[in-house]
Structure 1
Amino acid sequence: MILLIALDTYYNFRFFSVRDEEGKDRVCGRQLVCLFMLHFLANVLIWLNTGSVTMLAFYGAQVLFFLLYIYLTRLFYRNSSKLLVNNMCTLLATGFIILTRLNPDRAMRQFAIVVVAAVVTWIIPFIIDRVWQLVTFPWVYGILGLVLLAVVCVIGNTSYGAQLSLTFGGFTVQPSEFVKISFVFFVAAMFYQSTDRDTIIKTTVVAAVHVLVLVLSKDLGSALIFFVAYMTMLFVATSSYLWFGAGIAGGSVAAVAAYYLFPHVRRRVEAWADPWSDIANKGYQVAQALFAIGTGGWFGMGLYRGMPEKIPVVDKDFVFAAISEEMGALYALCVLFLCLGCYMQFMMIAMKMQAMFYKLIAFGLGSVYITQVFLTIGGVTKFIPSTGVTLPLVSYGGSSIVSTFIIFQVIQGLYVLKRGEEEEEEHSSEEE
């Protein structure tokens, strides 16, 4: 499996060095072969260890979904990014494999959410390609986001010290996962209209209120994601080191204040700094994750050969540790590189967009995505304190899956839009 995921990752980066479209198609085709072989071998191991016919049927359902999603995307969105779809499917397949190992019921629930998310977000590239009016509603995005975050802050369900979610008829939703998208649209629309001082101040105030409400909800992981996204978009829109420096200074002061104001933040920082001094309590989660990564080594213990269930919240925040233990650190590194490959494509699309609104959306959503990846993997590996953020498309979590599908489909829509513009320019030049 490590060889196949390594080849998949190689083709991910090989894609960027190929110039002609036929060559890119060949690279993506080979990447798909690696994906389906990897997925098949992993599910053979799952079946050998469980002997469950249900798991075989579940595997078949996954294969059918991947085939339909890839085929229909290419059919209806001719100019779509094949690489982005391939990487999505590889990350989803990795998530299904490790979640099936950890908790088959949750894996099946995750699969159902993925199917629904794929169907619901299917129309997004069409909307992005044809509806320019999205730029005209900045305050709708801003006010809607603030209202949702405020509701969670007041009546939200508490999980591990933070108010994160709302429950409706048995379904739990984490609004911050969706507000980060509306937040990016708000900032992009505001800076598209103007980047004068008054607009920057107004936008900064609204952005700061978003972050403040998240801090009051003790959802500091999301607060940091919002902050990084805003600073990225501010710098892209203004190219001002003065505004950027002021924002970084303000964020640093806020981070220090959060450490002293919130006990659960101090606990996480202390557990990160020295998990061994209180390994039975505060440091237990981090210590178990490090044990798992160390035990797995470069090549992993093999599926069902480790003990990832000892790690608290292993199928959400700490799924990277479970992957490292049973599938190997090399496999886990390939997952990280695939995430970086997605981010690289986000940035390439952002740099190609001429309209500032679309450029800012791509940069903003790209920073949201890569910051979430960094916070998750950094927290698991003890590079930074744990923030309670999930690994996109891999970790268990309905809201995270749906919001990530939205992000990828928005970027896909921008890619389709840009490719369409390039084709029109080519036709015009040929006619001349």
Structure 2
Amino acid sequence: MVNIIVQLSKYVMILLIIMYTFLCFSIFGYQDPDRKRYLLRRQNILMFLMHAIAFAVMYLQTDDIKMLAFYLMQVVLFGATIILYTLLYPKVSRLVVNNMCMLLCIGFIMLTRLNYSYAIKQFMIAAAGIACSLVVPVIIRKFKFLAEWRKFYAVIGIFSLAAVVIWGGVTGGAKLSFSTKVANIQPSELVKIVFVFFVASSFKLSLEFKNIVITTALAAFHVLILVVSKDLGAALIIFVVYLVMLYVATRQPLYIFAGLGAGSLASVAAYYLFNHVRVRVIVWKDPLAVYANGGQQVAQSLFAIGTGSWFGLGLFEGVPNTIPVAVSDFIFAAIGEEMGLIYGLCMILICVSCYIMFLNIAMQLHNGFYKLVALGLGTCYIFQVFLAIGGVTKFIPSTGVTIPLVSYGGSSLFSTVIMFAIIQGLYILREDEEEDIERKKKERLRAKRSRQEHAPQRRTPAYDRQRPQARPQGRKAPRKAQTRPQQRVR
């Protein structure tokens, strides 16, 4: 009986996430606020239904009351997040809030399936991050001098990355984080946000060639420190984010070509300088040929995705624990095995809808600094999703980055929640700008009407308009020219 319920539940959950994903994109076609609110509430219902079915299945499979307690804790977190954002910020983007909760929901389901203790840690970090994120929109909206802290952003970013190189611990052959009694802190995740603010404030200051050279040198220094610490995934993200922001700010294709050329040369140099880079490239070419020498991760990932096929095996019906680091870097393979490839594709489309919202906000903002910030954060988010899923599916060499909000990782989760909160603050700023524009239009129209009402009007008698114009006195009417008859020429 339990097996039948598990098999039916996977189809129901796939249907629910398909409907949710459809609403993510169909909502852009509606302008009526009431209709949008109705569709957003339907998204919440679909998410909570999928969440309840998944934890009911896990409870039936494990017969552990902890599953139900953990489920109720998550329901309280999601409900509080939606309600608090809506009450505190009436202008907030509900679609971004819904997508953030949905991605967290997918992550909690898979982490609970893979490792209950990791799921509890992830929940605590998510709760702390959401609590902190509620203050961020106020900071973005009220602090008007964020564009003036260029030097502060540069110093904080470089110092944080350099501190990891000097005092950080080695994980997987790379220096990524500080180990504390509470958790491991990975500064590069938060430095991505600081780096975006640094580049945006620098380009807001000036777009002269001298300033571009200085900004490029400091950005290259960020990348160089990450390369020295062997955090190549974060280095690649920062490099791509800078290229995108540079092109949008300057509209010079030459900078893009120069950056791509420099990046290609740096990639070749990294291949010959770092052994683990060579290993990852070799694994990417043929993971089965080097299964015992680094190819196990990618090979097991491909086996899991192929085994799950389109509809998955169902929760607790697969063996995702055989995939190395399945809770973090390779969680997409676990999702593909037990939830199915259709479920995984819908998750990717939800991430894409978040990116579309980021771009929409960036294009409609009038302030150049905030426009670049929204663009940089959106590029950072979607490129990290591409690197994570591309490495799992052997589309590109593995870079060791996580799927934001889904994979296990405290620093990544916390920084992504803050990133979404910054986007919410920018969305509220955009709404404020539109209201200011409408208010100024109404004031100009009101002033124009007031001037027309108080302006003196010239009144002319009716008979002056009907009476023919009098001929001026003292002047004779012009005499018609008389023509003499022409003489006949004989």
Question: Scaled by the length of structure 1, what TM-score is found?
Answer: 0.99
1:248-270 deviation per Cα after TM superposition (whole angstroms, max 9, x unaligned): 11111111111111000000110
Q: How many residues align?
A: 432
Partner of 1:220: 232
3-state SS of paired residue (1:383): coil
Of residues 155, 164, 167, the one that matches 1:155 is: 167
Partner of 2:89: 77
1:16, distance to aligned residue in structure 2 (A): 1.4
Asked whether the 8 Å contact 1:300–1:325 carries over to 2, the reply is yes
Counterparts of 1:423 and 1:47 in 2: how far apart (Å)? 49
Is 2:310 the counterpart of 1:287?
A: no
Is 2:356 the counterpart of 1:344?
A: yes
Is 2:64 the counterpart of 1:52?
A: yes
Asked whether the 8 Å contact 1:188–1:360 carries over to 2, the reply is yes
Partner of 2:210: 198
Counterparts of 1:427 and 1:53 in 2: how far apart (Å)? 56
Is 2:342 the counterpart of 1:320?
A: no
- Gapped runs of 5+ residues in structure 1? none
3-state SS of paired residue (2:175): strand
Is 2:408 the counterpart of 1:391?
A: no
1:46-83 deviation per Cα after TM superposition (whole angstroms, max 9, x unaligned): 11111111110110010011111101100000100000
Partner of 1:356: 368
Counterparts of 2:316 and 2:281 in 1: how far apart (Å)? 32
Is 2:159 the counterpart of 1:110?
A: no
Is 2:185 the counterpart of 1:177?
A: no
Of residues 89, 92, 95, the one that matches 2:104 is: 92
- Name the amino acid aligned to 2:185: V
1:185, distance to aligned residue in structure 2 (A): 0.4
1:340-389 deviation per Cα after TM superposition (whole angstroms, max 9, x unaligned): 00001000000011111001001100110011000000000000000000
3-state SS of paired residue (1:142): helix
**Percent of paired sites with the same residue:** 51
1:5, distance to aligned residue in structure 2 (A): 0.5
1:275, distance to aligned residue in structure 2 (A): 0.4
Partner of 1:400: 412
3-state SS of paired residue (2:288): helix
1:428, distance to aligned residue in structure 2 (A): 4.0
Counterparts of 2:16 and 2:144 in 1: how far apart (Å)? 41
1:196-228 deviation per Cα after TM superposition (whole angstroms, max 9, x unaligned): 001000000000000000001111000000001
Is 2:287 the counterpart of 1:275?
A: yes
**1:226-245 counterparts in 2 under 5 A?**
226-245=238-257
Partner of 2:149: 137
Runs of 4+ in 1 over 6 A off after TM superposition: none
- Gapped runs of 5+ residues in structure 2? 1-12, 447-490
Of residues 194, 216, 219, the one that matches 1:207 is: 219
Partner of 1:304: 316
3-state SS of paired residue (1:275): coil
Is 2:50 the counterpart of 1:38?
A: yes
Counterparts of 2:440 and 2:212 in 1: how far apart (Å)? 39
Structure 1 window deviating more from structure 2 (418-427 vs 385-394): it is 418-427
- Name the amino acid aligned to 1:154: I
Partner of 1:68: 80
3-state SS of paired residue (2:117): helix
Partner of 2:487: none
Counterparts of 1:235 and 1:219 in 2: how far apart (Å)? 25
1:153-195 deviation per Cα after TM superposition (whole angstroms, max 9, x unaligned): 1221111111100123342100000011110000000000101
1:423, distance to aligned residue in structure 2 (A): 2.3
3-state SS of paired residue (2:145): helix
Counterparts of 2:337 and 2:234 in 1: how far apart (Å)? 27
1:418, distance to aligned residue in structure 2 (A): 0.7
Asked whether the 8 Å contact 1:295–1:325 carries over to 2, the reply is yes
- Name the amino acid aligned to 1:340: V
Is 2:260 the counterpart of 1:251?
A: no
Counterparts of 2:144 and 2:126 in 1: how far apart (Å)? 28
Of residues 317, 321, 335, the one that matches 2:347 is: 335
1:244, distance to aligned residue in structure 2 (A): 1.6
Select the structure of larger CA radius of gyration.
Answer: 2
3-state SS of paired residue (1:304): coil
3-state SS of paired residue (2:406): coil
Asked whether the 8 Å contact 1:14–1:27 carries over to 2, the reply is no
Partner of 1:101: 113
Partner of 1:366: 378
Of residues 3, 11, 18, the one that matches 2:30 is: 18
1:37, distance to aligned residue in structure 2 (A): 0.6
- Name the amino acid aligned to 2:303: F
Partner of 2:425: 413
Partner of 1:266: 278
1:430, distance to aligned residue in structure 2 (A): 4.2
3-state SS of paired residue (1:280): helix
- Name the amino acid aligned to 1:391: I
Partner of 1:125: 137
Counterparts of 1:380 and 1:120 in 2: how far apart (Å)? 31
- Name the amino acid aligned to 2:407: S
Question: Scaled by the length of structure 2, what TM-score is found?
Answer: 0.87
Counterparts of 2:441 and 2:62 in 1: how far apart (Å)? 61
Counterparts of 2:167 and 2:283 in 1: how far apart (Å)? 29
1:121, distance to aligned residue in structure 2 (A): 1.9
